[in-house]
């Protein structure tokens, strides 16, 4: 590798990831270049990993750098950038909007009609360097390390946003279906907000992780009917809120069924295209069906303050720490859906 090239991870599909090199990018006007210090493998990367190669080639995704959960240090700034400055520690907000439309101005660039995602339109964060607009960086305070930063960028922020949507509180029972990293963080936030939480999965290892975190109840949906478990946990009528992080139709429909009247269902996990049968839940039980996509830019400080005040054991969800050279094996492990979070250390 010459000094003007960097290592990066690409994903051609068909369960293949490759380590390659690209030229180190230069920041354009209003851009910053970030030296990546921490990144991670996400469930949504696995969807790309499992995608057929021909499909990824057709859209031009196979050559783009993979990864959207990243934190690092600003290394260079383009013309016109006054903030952040070289040397600042930052987290990358991975839904990159135009910066000037109504949604971007409201701190919700995910709704921008010109939104650019990593490994979709742009090169992602599993590289030595990434260039992003200065407005897509969030300050990482000194009391959070780069590993925290990579978790905050997606999994922690996603869980926080979903639990807020469900309005979790101390007088509620809440179900979380899917106990992968986002599900486990959802459990943590919901319990810290006071809710009593039942977790549902089909993998004993993931149920065990939730139990170690002190969850109130669990259900292995491969052995016990999750709808019955939710109803019983909620005192007969069902739970007040359910959050699905699994992305599976069976889990989503069960979570919806297990809600009590006026219950709230929040869809978070990306996965199957579910067709919901909604007439009965809407008419006869007056449930609310909504979704939640990551977190909003204006929630950043709330998220940091919540973690500080509640001292959530966020690192307990980490199963493995790797260097980028171990990514091929790590993706195989993540693909098994039996493990906790896998972090990539770039320091």
What backbone phi and psi angles, to 5 degrees, belong to 294? Answer: 55, -135
User: Is residue 42 at the binding interface for Zn ion, with CB under 5 A as the rule?
Assistant: yes
Helix axes 226-233, 249-257, angle to 10 degrees: 30
For residue 70, give the nearest of 8, 160, 148, 135 by alpha carbon: 148
The C-alpha atoms of residue 17 and residue 67 are separated, in whole angstroms, by 11
User: Is residue 101 at the binding interface for Zn ion, with CB under 5 A as the rule?
Assistant: yes
Long-range contacts, stretch 273-279, CB < 8 angstroms, 24+ apart: 274/249, 275/249, 276/252, 277/253
In the bound state with Zn ion, the residue whose beta carbon lies nearer, of 73 and 101, is 101
Contact criterion met (CB below 8 Å) for 229 and 199: no
Residue 247 Cβ vs Zn ion, minimum distance, rounded to whole Å:
13
User: Is residue 333 at the binding interface for Zn ion, with CB under 5 A as the rule?
Assistant: no
Size of the site for Zn ion (CB under 5 A): 8
Part of the chain binding Zn ion (CB under 5 A), chosen from 111-119, 273-281, 308-316, 322-330? 111-119
User: Is residue 117 at the binding interface for Zn ion, with CB under 5 A as the rule?
Assistant: no
Hey, what are 46's tokens?
């696995």
Q: In the block, which residue shows the tokens 């991870």?
A: 9
Task: Tell me the HSE value of 85 on the side-chain side, using a 13 A CA sphere.
Answer: 1
Write each residue from 172 to 211 as x if it is in contact with Zn ion (CB under 5 A), else as -, in one continuous string. Answer: ----------------------------------------
In the bound state with Zn ion, the residue whose beta carbon lies nearer, of 118 and 233, is 118
Q: Which of 73, 98, 318, 322 binds Zn ion (CB under 5 A)?
A: 98
Write each residue from 65 to 84 as x if it is in contact with Zn ion (CB under 5 A), else as -, in one continuous string. Answer: ----x---------------
Q: Following CA atoms 52, 324, 268, 175 in sequence, which dihedral angle do they give, to the nearest 10 degrees? A: 120
Part of the chain binding Zn ion (CB under 5 A), chosen from 104-112, 229-237, 265-273, 306-314? 104-112
Hey, what are 169's tokens?
């509180």
Strands 89-92 and 137-139: antiparallel
In the bound state with Zn ion, the residue whose beta carbon lies nearer, of 187 and 334, is 334
List the beta bridge partners of residue 129.
35
In the bound state with Zn ion, the residue whose beta carbon lies nearer, of 42 and 176, is 42
List the beta bridge partners of residue 7.
21
In the bound state with Zn ion, the residue whose beta carbon lies nearer, of 221 and 303, is 303
Q: Which of 11, 24, 71, 154 binds Zn ion (CB under 5 A)?
A: 154
User: Is residue 30 at the binding interface for Zn ion, with CB under 5 A as the rule?
Assistant: no
Part of the chain binding Zn ion (CB under 5 A), chosen from 35-43, 118-126, 215-223, 269-277? 35-43
The C-alpha atoms of residue 160 and residue 141 are separated, in whole angstroms, by 18
User: Is residue 97 at the binding interface for Zn ion, with CB under 5 A as the rule?
Assistant: yes
Part of the chain binding Zn ion (CB under 5 A), chosen from 25-33, 96-104, 133-141, 293-301? 96-104
User: Is residue 293 at the binding interface for Zn ion, with CB under 5 A as the rule?
Assistant: no
Contact criterion met (CB below 8 Å) for 149 and 347: no
Q: Which of 112, 156, 197, 304 binds Zn ion (CB under 5 A)?
A: 112
Interacting residue ranges for Zn ion, rule: CB under 5 A: 42, 69, 97-98, 101, 104, 112, 154
């Amino acid at each position: 590798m010459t000094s003007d090239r960097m290592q990066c991870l690409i994903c051609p599909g068909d369960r293949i990831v490759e380590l390659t090199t690209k030229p180190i990018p230069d920041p354009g006007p209003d851009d910053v270049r970030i030296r990546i210090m921490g990144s991670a493998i996400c469930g949504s990367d696995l969807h790309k990993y499992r995608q057929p190669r021909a499909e990824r080639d057709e859209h031009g995704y196979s050559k783009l750098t993979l990864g959207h959960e990243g934190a690092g240090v600003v290394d260079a700034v383009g013309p016109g950038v006054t903030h952040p400055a070289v040397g600042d520690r930052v987290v990358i907000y991975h839904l990159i909007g135009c910066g000037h439309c109504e949604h971007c101005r409201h701190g919700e660039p995910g709704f921008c009609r010109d939104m650019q995602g990593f490994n979709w339109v742009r090169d992602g964060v599993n590289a030595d360097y990434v260039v992003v607009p200065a407005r897509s960086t969030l300050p990482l305070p000194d009391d959070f390390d780069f590993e925290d930063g990579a978790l905050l960028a997606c999994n922690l922020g996603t869980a926080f946003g979903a639990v807020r949507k469900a309005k979790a509180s101390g007088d509620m029972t809440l179900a979380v279906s899917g106990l992968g990293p986002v599900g486990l963080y959802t459990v943590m936030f919901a319990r810290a907000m006071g809710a009593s939480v039942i977790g549902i999965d089909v993998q004993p290892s993931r149920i065990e992780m939730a139990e170690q975190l002190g969850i109130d109840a669990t259900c292995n949906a491969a052995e016990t009917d999750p709808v019955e478990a939710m109803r019983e946990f909620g005192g007969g009528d069902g739970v007040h809120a359910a959050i699905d992080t699994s992305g599976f139709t069976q889990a989503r429909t069960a979570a919806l069924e297990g809600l009590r009247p006026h219950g709230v269902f929040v869809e978070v996990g990306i996965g199957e295209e579910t067709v919901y049968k909604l007439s009965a839940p809407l008419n006869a039980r007056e449930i609310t069906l909504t979704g939640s996509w990551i977190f909003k830019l204006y929630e950043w400080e709330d998220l940091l303050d919540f973690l500080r005040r509640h001292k959530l054991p966020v690192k307990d969800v980490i199963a493995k720490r790797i260097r980028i050279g171990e990514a091929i094996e790590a993706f195989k492990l993540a693909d098994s859906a039996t493990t906790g979070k896998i972090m990539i250390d770039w320091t």
